[in-house]
A and B are shown apart, each in its own frame.
Chain A
């Protein structure tokens, strides 16, 4: 399933920005690009989109270490990459999670992005990537297709409503099916419920 990835690019050149967007493609992700001209714009965009990835031309934050550090600290889940055209001071680059060089090929760029995004994913509490439903998810699914509301499911399984919601989210993510009527068909196909019981 495609995961939407918000990317902000802080860069003064529109040509470089467009070029970078064009080169970055990975069918596993749905990239959503935003262009920022300065640190202030970057901050505004980040408030709005809570970017997964920020790519920065270090020239644009030179001598603004303090301000940049403050933003970086606030969004500690964001991955910060530098886009470098030429040689930069080692210390300036050390504040980034990774580097993209202007001479990198499309393949190399996508590798760097993928590596950094995957690290982000494992560190956050994402559900397991296994495609089949867990036993608990199957319990929830059965109750959903029998017409129970979240509150009723929570009571019957002795779990919180939030847990029910998170199970339902995982079920839809794994199966690609969101509607109750669609999930009912899924449950019949997989013999979780029988047609006669309905």
Chain B
């Protein structure tokens, strides 16, 4: 994990300043669809321009900076929309960008390091990538529509449909596996895999893995500690209706 001076993000801080303090926040901006070129604007201004609830932004930014989220207790429809958009965007970043990049570097390493273990790593990663894609597709196709549907019911939109009873608690289990195999891969690359001329490629690979790990960790914290409690709240509100 990048070592930075842990700051608690506040609305009046500069949007640029917090990225310089913790560069991983660039990923958060992307997932929120906040474009760079933030100039001298404060976080509050950036949030207003992008129609993001400042409290939600601060909660997630501080999660990136290592602070446990305060439970968001109130159900706000706009927040649900923003969270789902954020999570969907991060899925795109995993599936379309960083996993393929990692896959490519492993293939490049295999070209110059012919130890049989490297081929095993390639297979290990291909299988892993497949598992992750399946999990994320499941979230995109089942979990997110379910959440948005609850939201539609509560905002009295007419276009909701009745879903089978489905509990989000089940899906909390899925996450550990994804992070576990990433840790395995890191340990194998740092501690055990024979090295040839692939030191610099391996360094690049590890940096990608750390970047991915950082974002994945926040991603599952958002799902487990912010989204799921909110969904449970929405389910309760609907039951009371």
Contacts and interface: CB of A to CB of B under 8 A. Distances in A.
B183 interface: yes
B120 A186 contact: no
Interface in B186-205: 186-188, 191-194
B183 A185 contact: no
A177 interface: yes
Contacts of B120: 184-185, 188, 195
A127 interface: no
Interface residues of A, number: 14
Nearest to B194: A189
Contacts of A190: 192
Given A176-B184, A177-B187, A189-B192, 18 more contacts: A175-B187, A175-B191, A176-B183, A176-B187, A177-B184, A177-B188, A178-B180, A178-B183, A181-B124, A182-B124, A185-B120, A185-B121, A185-B124, A185-B188, A185-B193, A188-B117, A190-B192, A195-B120
Nearest to B127: A181
Most buried by B among A175, A179, A182, A188: A182
A15 B94 CA distance: 40
B181 interface: yes
B199 to A, nearest CB: 17
Interface residues of B, number: 18
A181 B193 CA distance: 14
Interface in A140-198: 175-179, 181-182, 184-186, 188-190, 195
Given A188-B116, A188-B117, A182 B127 contact: no
Contacts of B121: 185
A182 B124 CA distance: 7
Interface of A: 175-179, 181-182, 184-186, 188-190, 195
A134 B184 CA distance: 20
B188 A182 contact: yes
Nearest to A176: B187
A175, A185, A186 pick with most chain B CB within 10 angstroms = A185
Contacts of B183: 176-178
B116 A179 contact: no
A186 B120 CA distance: 10
- Among B188, B193, B194, chain A packs the most CB atoms within 10 A around the CB of B188
B152 interface: no
Contacts of A182: 124, 181, 184-185, 187-188
A184 B120 CA distance: 9
A175 B194 CA distance: 15
B228 to A, nearest CB: 19
27 contacts: A175-B191, A176-B183, A177-B183, A177-B184, A177-B187, A177-B188, A178-B180, A178-B183, A179-B184, A181-B127, A181-B184, A182-B124, A182-B181, A182-B184, A185-B124, A185-B188, A185-B192, A186-B188, A186-B192, A188-B116, A188-B117, A188-B120, A189-B188, A189-B193, A189-B194, A195-B116, A195-B120
Contacts of A178: 180, 183-184
Nearest to A190: B192
Nearest to A181: B124
Contacts of B185: 182
Nearest to B176: A178
A170 to B, nearest CB: 15
Interface string B79-117: 000000000000000000000000000000000000011
Given A178-B180, A179-B181, A189 B187 contact: no
Contact of A176 (B116, B124, B191, B193): B191
A138 B11 CA distance: 55
Nearest to B177: A179
Contacts of B194: 189
